[in-house]
Structure formats: structure tokens, C-alpha cells
Structure 1
């Protein structure tokens, strides 16, 4: 059975939904794997949202390991973030209960150490196509708008010491020039010409209709991307040595969105 490790800060409902969805696919047999452990970078009682995450893990019967990042060596974290990162993740490696085939970073809010990147095969989601914009999802969307991009997507990539630079394992793409998008682009273009990007960001920000629609369409596909990526690894369709990488999962994801079925 393919063994998964799960890293999360458990900070919001999205983190719970992702874990619950993947575990449901495991229980129904769609995903031939097991979650060997869930590591949480908060302790019970530290935050209401992460407490709900711990409760979900207990409900799902998933073993948890935790070490509060916020409370770990706070003086060192203030003085030398890189040194703190090494010491914190060295301790995390010591308390993990077993070896796994793949670790998923799912709402894990800390940059991992170089040693951890070397010791664990870790997978992370980045909300852009391979070779596309870097940064947070907000920064990615503004770069897409500034470039008048015709398409976007997201990828699952290997975690490396350089943020968002690891090789892609899988990805999906979708068009930003469908009939539903075109009126939003027209309205945005008029504002860009009058105000410029910086003023548009300051005045409308994430309430800009085009910004919101790009985010909405991306989020719809992110959870299926994670599930189908884990399935591809667990079934041996791909590995880190596969010459086919990155694997394009667009067709599978669009079929899932159309039918609601996992297949």
C-alpha cells in the first residue's frame, strides 16, 4: 500500500476539506494508498481552526503528530529565521512515526528546511502552469492580468530549497479566453488603460470581477488535481524518475467537473 505523509498547519476550512476528500477517496478504493500520519505545525489548544483540524483527524482515524512552530524557539526565529528553520524541521524529522513514499504539503504555512527537502519526497501545489508566474496565488493572478494571459492552470511540484522552483509532477491548464471570460477582460482592459495596474490593485483588489473569476476557476480544479496526482503516483503511472513528467491531467479534471464522478 502506497504510504502518504500529510503536512498541514490546519488553519482553515480548506485544509479540512482537502484532507477529508483525499481520505474519502482512499476509503472508497479510488486511491490505493493510506495516510500514515498527519503532521500539524500547531498544538491542540493553540487555535480554534487547528483544533477543528485535530478533531477531523480523530474522526477519520488518522494518527497525528504535532509541534507548534509558533512556540518553538521563538528567540531564534526572531534572530535567524534560516537557523530556526533547520532546527525546527530537524526536530520534526525526529518525531515522524514512519517512512512514507510521498509527503503532501496541504496548507502547510512554513518554508521547509533544505535537509527536509533532501530526506522526504515532498509534493506541493503551486497555482500556475509549469514555467509560469511565481509567488502567492494573489501575485500569480495579478501577473496573469498584467500579461493579458490567454491561459493558466496549476501544478503539483517537488519541494526544493528554492521556493516554487521544484520540478513539476503534474499540472492542469484552462483557457482564460472562453466566452464567459471575454466580457470580464474587456471591462478590465478599459480600467487598465485609464488607471494602470497599480491603481487597479489598490482600488479594487480582489473584488475585481476578472480577478475573482480566475481564482474561482482555479480553485475548482485544485482539489481534483491533488487527488488525481496522488492516484498517479500510488498506481505507478508516474514516479520522480518518469520521463513523461510533468503529466497533463487537464482532461481527467475537466471530466470530473463535468460529471462529478471520480474515475
Structure 2
């Protein structure tokens, strides 16, 4: 299978996700290849972004840079939805020569336009449990701490026109009670919660990709189906698999 990788590559989390993917491909745990890496920013001196580009180039993977921050700023000010559609059209033109069986948004800090969501099967790693919070990880972790949620985790879902509400492929959950109820500052709680989520998000995404590659699940018209082709009624809790993957890597 061929995977399209979409990222903004702004920091260590995005770099770690791509590096982990390549490790799993090299080890044979994921039987797939990366068709391209799409980055919606210029390098701009970002060391993590440059490292990811260098890694992909060394692997012979085409890297596509199509900066969204400098794309038609006049239209973005006037009409954000039209701008998003226009950028999406440009994105599709850029990846047209690089077929993929499905795409992965991994640290991609931009909302995908509806047509691209409908035309391609794309999954997204979202730093929240199913049917809970939307927004950035900073906003979400803040809510987890504020509400003293007993557990937290991340979700892999199908990219859809409705932000962070696509059909769920899988999720990971871990307990947070000992952190959110600890006698420490809210900022320290947030750092600890985020650190654990970061530690677990790479194996969650890899296990989800492996499920798709191995045919354990599939995506059809925005819906998740099981290996028998039946639309999935629930979503896969991969918490145990994630913990096992972390143990193997130690």
C-alpha cells in the first residue's frame, strides 16, 4: 500500500511520528511505502522541518512544499472558506502525480477542505478521546486538567468536512487521575498529561496504519468497515496494543 504523509512539521512531535513510521516500515511491522510527504510550510530555518525533509529525501520519498501561510493572503482575509477551497485545489494538483491508497495527517496544522476529504481516504491523529474535545492540543489538555478528567488519550479518525468529527478508526486511553488531582500547578499538570499523550500517540497512529494496511479495517466513503466489509458499529480501543508497543521499544 502507498501512504501519503501530510504534516506541517513544526516541532519534535511531527518529526517523531514520521521517524517512527519509517522505523515500522523498515522493520516490516507496516508493509507499505510512503508515496510522498506534503508540507504546508517553507523550511524557514525550522530544524525539525529540515530534518524531516532530509530523512524523507534519504529514503527517496518525494517532498512537496506548498506553503499555506503565503498562499493568496488577500483571499484568506476576505473569505476563509473560499481560501481553504482554493488551497485544497492547489494541494490536489501538487499530489496528483503521487498516488496513495490513503493519507495520514500527522501534525498537519491546517483544516482540510471538503472536496479533498471526500476525494481521498485520509486519517487524522487528534489529541482527544472520541466524542470529547476539539481544538489544539494546548486547548484540549487545558480542559482535561480543568475538568479533572479521569482519563485522556488520542483518537485516529477519518478526515471529514466537520472538524475532528469523522468516523473513528481507533483510539488510545490512559488514566490521568493521579496527575489532575496532584498538589501541583495547573501548568505542571498540563505538561505531565501532554507528555504521556505524546509518548503514546506514535504507537497509536502506527497501530492504526497497520490495521488499514493489513485489512483489519478499511475506509469507504468516509465510513470505517471491518475485515468482512461491514460498517463498524464501534471503534477499536488500542490502549493495550499501544502499551505493548511501548514495552517492546524499551
TM-score (norm 2): 0.88
> Which blocks of at least 5 consecutive residues in structure 1 are unaligned?
189-203
Q: CA RMSD in A?
A: 1.9
Alignment correspondent of 1:247: 236
Q: Is the 8 A contact 1:129 1:154 kept in 2?
A: yes
Alignment correspondent of 2:126: 126
Q: How far apart, in 2, do the equivalents of 1:48 and 1:169 lie?
A: 32
Alignment correspondent of 2:80: 81
Residue 155 of structure 2 aligns to a residue whose secondary structure is strand
Larger Cα-atom Rg? 1
Number of residue-to-residue matches in the alignment: 238
Q: Is the 8 A contact 1:8 1:38 kept in 2?
A: yes
Residue 241 of structure 1 aligns to a residue whose secondary structure is strand
Residue 174 of structure 1 aligns to a residue whose secondary structure is strand
Matched, 1:147 2:147: yes
Correspondence for 2:190 among 200, 211, 215: 211
| 123 and 15 in structure 1: CA distance in 2 versus 1, 3 angstrom threshold | same
Q: How far apart, in 1, do the equivalents of 2:81 and 2:211 lie?
A: 34
| 36 and 213 in structure 1: CA distance in 2 versus 1, 3 angstrom threshold | same
Greater shift after overlay, 30-39 or 97-106?
A: 97-106
Q: How far apart, in 2, do the equivalents of 1:253 and 1:72 lie?
A: 38
Spell out the pairing of 1:97-112 with structure 2 (5 A cutoff): 97-112=97-112
How far off is 1:157 after superposition? 0.7
| 153 and 112 in structure 1: CA distance in 2 versus 1, 3 angstrom threshold | same
Q: How far apart, in 2, do the equivalents of 1:30 and 1:256 lie?
A: 11
Q: Is the 8 A contact 1:128 1:140 kept in 2?
A: yes
Alignment correspondent of 1:232: 211
> Which blocks of at least 5 consecutive residues in structure 2 are unaligned?
219-223, 227-231
Greater shift after overlay, 73-82 or 223-232?
A: 73-82
Residue 117 of structure 2 aligns to a residue whose secondary structure is helix
Q: Is the 8 A contact 2:131 2:165 kept in 1?
A: no
How far off is 1:245 after superposition? 4.3
Residue 173 of structure 2 aligns to a residue whose secondary structure is strand
Alignment correspondent of 2:229: none
